[in-house]
Amino acid sequence: MPSRHRRDRFVLLLAPALIWAGAAGVLALWWSDTASVVGPAGWLTGAGRITGLLAGYACAVLLALMARVPLLDHSVGSDRLARWHALGGRWTVSLACAHTLLIIWGYSLTSRTGVVGQTATLVLHYPDLLKGTAGFLLLLGTGIVSARAARRRMRYETWHYLHFATYLAVFLTFGHQLSNGADFVGNHAAQLAWYALYLGVAALVGWFRFLVPVRRALRHRLKVAAVHPESPGVVSVVLTGERLDELGARPGQFFRWRFLARGLWWTASPYSLSAPAHPRHLRITVKAVGGHSAALAGLRPGTRVWAEGPYGAFTADRRTARKVLLLGGGVGITPLRALFETLPGEVTLVHRARRPEDLTLRAELDAIAAARGATVHYVVDEPAAYSSPLTARALSRLVPDLAAHDVYLCGPPGMTEAATRALRGAGVPRRRIHHESFEF
């Protein structure tokens, strides 16, 4: 097994273990600082303290997961990190709500006052709690707009920039945790640990999310060299720059591209490399599925570009078997095209599309197949004579001994779900089905 694969597996196991170990440490802080819990008020207040500690810890974890640390991103994968972040976000908002309600209820029982009066007392008279309340409301609002039903009703760019309110929410609530948290008041060791946690995460976010992209933009000076049509609604954008080999981009990875042109500069979209990286140029191939992607067809040579990355773990490091199947749908062929040229061993590629004219990069795929003696199968939905269902039986006919293959899978969500079911039905172990999604 390659050393990089062992490293990735180790990081994939270590990261959740460290997260849970940190949560255990937070619970230990409450336990060591609590002599006894007596009566309903004590139980409610204790539960409020626990949920508050866990919510504060979870905020730091959420930011760390999305800091785009290369070791995490290349080992765990951008899509898995995004799923962890989304799941953790739901837990964080739930813990913050529980903390707020439990503390108010517990304090109102202790002081024998009403819930409304106790809320006013806490917000208006406790140090930093007014800021903490504003931070909680921002966090709650971010959780609401991140819900799937809400996200479907807004542009990705709108959701993305609203999501930055999380940073302000964490900043506003941080002081409240140290000023009012019973586990921190007078406990200098706990305060130092909390400062170290948050400052460490802030350093990761500041460096990898902001400073590194600026530094690379100034160093590599990427710009658009040419735009070529590939198939209906699909174009390839060729970019040139300086010392691009220093980026360390590998086949299967992607960048977040920010084109400094009117109407495009304010958003960074993820597109995979559709050819192996070259020291002087890179290439992406994009399908027009929205306003931003459609506008790339009109890019002018010389347009400056900022590229954040490379990101993703959809690389040769995931390969564990000698035989490999690359299964792509539509423009999902782009990262597979780069892998098809570079993956060692016995490689078969299956490219699915709606119509023959939608088979993007077909000439290149045929040339690569001829050069390396590999096999390419093209499957289209129309005309029906050339169609083939995405089932275990159909895939097994195309690819003999399918269960012995590693499978790299990329395409629209519906296609990848159907393909995963078919591959599992054909006996391919789940650990050998490699898929990375941009549905962040």
Q: How confident is the model at residue 1 (pLDDT cuts 50, 70, 90)?
A: very low
The tens digit of pLDDT for each residue in 37-66 reads: 888 999 999 999 999 999 999 999 999 998
Structure confidence at residue 249 (pLDDT): 94
C-alpha span between 30 and 171 (Å, rounded) = 23
What percent of the chain has pLDDT above 90? 59
Rounded average pLDDT over 192-218: 94
Rounded average pLDDT over 109-135: 87
* pTM summary value: 0.84
Structure confidence at residue 439 (pLDDT): 57
Structure confidence at residue 3 (pLDDT): 67
Q: How confident is the model at residue 377 (pLDDT cuts 50, 70, 90)?
A: very high
Three-state helix/strand/coil letters over 15-30: HHHHHHHHHHHHHHHH
The tens digit of pLDDT for each residue in 138-167 reads: 899 888 887 776 777 777 667 777 777 888
Q: How confident is the model at residue 438 (pLDDT cuts 50, 70, 90)?
A: low
- Least confident interval from 145-154, 278-287, 323-332, 374-383: 145-154
Structure confidence at residue 220 (pLDDT): 94
The tens digit of pLDDT for each residue in 74-93 reads: 899 888 898 999 899 999 99
Three-state helix/strand/coil letters over the chain: CCHHHHHHHHHHHHHHHHHHHHHHHHHHHHHHCCCCCCHHHHHHHHHHHHHHHHHHHHHHHHHHHCCCCHHHHHHHCHHHHHHHHHHHHHHHHHHHHHHHHHHHHHHHHHHCCCHHHHHHHHHHHCCCHHHHHHHHHHHHHHHHHHCHHHHCCCCHHHHHHHHCHHHHHHHHHHHHHHHHCCCCCCCHHHHHHHHHHHHHHHHHHHHHHHHHHHHHHHHHCCEEEEEEEEECCEEEEEEECCCHHHHCCCCCCEEEEEECCCCCCCCCEEEEECCCCCCCEEEEEEECCCHHHHHHHHCCCCCEEEEEEEECCCCHHHCCCCEEEEEEEHHHHHHHHHHHHHCCCEEEEEEEECCHHHCCCHHHHHHHHHHHCCEEEEEECCCHHHCCCCCHHHHHHHCCCHHHEEEEEECCHHHHHHHHHHHHHCCCCHHHEEECCCCC
- Residue 194: pLDDT over 90: yes
Quote the mean pLDDT of the chain: 90
What percent of the chain has pLDDT above 70? 97
Structure confidence at residue 191 (pLDDT): 92
The tens digit of pLDDT for each residue in 282-308 reads: 999 999 887 778 889 899 999 999 999
Dmax (CA) for the chain in angstroms is 82
Rounded average pLDDT over 88-116: 92
Structure confidence at residue 306 (pLDDT): 93
- Residue 26: pLDDT over 80: yes
- Residue 176: pLDDT over 80: yes
| CA distances, 319 to each of 249, 397, 431 (Å) | 17, 23, 10
- Residue 440: pLDDT over 60: no
- Residue 17: pLDDT over 90: yes
- Residue 387: pLDDT over 90: no
- Least confident interval from 74-78, 144-148, 200-204, 238-242: 144-148
